[in-house]
Amino acid sequence: MHDANDAPDVLVLSEHPLFRRFFYVACFSRDVGAAPVARRILGTDLVIWRAEPDGAVSVALDRCAHRDAPLSRGWIKDCHLVCPYHGWEWDRQGHTQRIPQFPEARHPSKSGLTMVRSDERYGMVWVCLDDDPLVGIPPIPEWGAPGWRTVPEYEFTFECTAMHLLENNFDPGHVAFVHRNTFGNPDRPELTDTEVARTSYGLETSGQVPVESRPGEVGATVRTTVSKLYAPFFGHIAITYPDGLRHVMIKAITPVDDERCNRAQTVLRTDTEEDRPAADILAFDVEVENEDRQLLELLPTPFPLAVHLNAHAQADRNSLAIRRLWSDVVTGRWTPSW
């Protein structure tokens, strides 16, 4: 018998509506241009568009109330989103503006779009599927701060759960082996002991990882890393190298559904384009992402939340803390704040 407050043995996001109350990155702002954009978050299909080239982003369910056509296959005309099936038009607030077959007739009361809460920040479009978010958009203090430059990267797609990907991003033990062709070395797998603390927003972990290189460079060094997890799947991973270079990886993980996820990644650094071109950093990270993907997409689903379902060692302190965090989230024993 399990108490009603016990966490499930496995974590399936669709079984917990609570996850719809967080903000997730739907796409980069630069991806929303002259045409509507389709995205899926937690199994919900969305359409994202700009009524004007330099205007604010709008987000709605990707479904026309008339005959269920996907609005993401439509287009923008005279600042209106146009349905590809019968040409109905809506403004940026989702109000019906035109039904071309009888343009003077009264619009049906149910013809408007179902709008979704959204915002743009840090060069990304953020979406919350619930009208009552638990928390806001996570902070990125380095963004726009003096001495920092921004290297926008990509949306990376993974055929694995958001939980598997997030756990991987906070797992120092896999670097020497999964990334042996880029910056890991199986002959140097030893780690310093990781420190982990529960915070108001999730977790903060710190430790050191020996690596064989850093983006665009060759030469063994050490990463001293402080990683912040903003519940449930947002990572702020701050790396300091021995020469003082600071390198922050923003890893905004978005669950597509119960078995797939996307990650929008941005890098912030304290050097300059002349020191290390953004193209070198991006090429390095693309190769690293492919190494992670090839392994993660082999892992079974659903995600094993209960500790007894896996073996654990000293190097797994981050992973264990993450699983306990998610257990407390789904049982209501802990609520994040920032």
Residue 5 has a pLDDT of 65
**Which of 68, 95, 128 is the C-terminal boundary of a domain?**
128
166 and 116 co-located in one domain: no
- Are residues 51 and 76 in contact, defined by beta-carbon separation less than 8 angstroms? yes
Residue 2 has a pLDDT of 41
User: Number of structural domains, the chain?
Assistant: 2
The residue ranges of DSSP E strands in 256-335, in sequence order, are 261-269, 303-304
Q: Is residue 215 part of a domain?
A: yes
290 and 250 co-located in one domain: yes
74 and 175 co-located in one domain: no
Rounded Cα distance between 91 and 86, Å, is 16
Q: Is residue 337 part of a domain?
A: no
184 and 95 co-located in one domain: no
The residue ranges of DSSP E strands in the chain, in sequence order, are 10-11, 24-28, 37-41, 44-50, 57-61, 75-77, 80-82, 89-90, 96-98, 117-121, 124-128, 149-158, 195-198, 202-211, 221-230, 234-240, 246-255, 261-269, 303-304
Ranges of residues in the chain whose predicted pLDDT is under 70 = 1-5
228 and 303 co-located in one domain: yes
- Side chain identity at residue 267, one-letter code: V
154 and 249 co-located in one domain: yes
49 and 80 co-located in one domain: yes
Q: Is residue 138 part of a domain?
A: no
The structure's pTM equals 0.95
Rounded Cα distance between 19 and 12, Å, is 10
Task: Give the CATH number, domain containing residue 70.
Answer: 2.102.10.10
Range(s) of the domain holding residue 249: 149-331
206 and 269 co-located in one domain: yes
Residue 247 has a pLDDT of 98
153 and 291 co-located in one domain: yes
- Side chain identity at residue 315, one-letter code: A
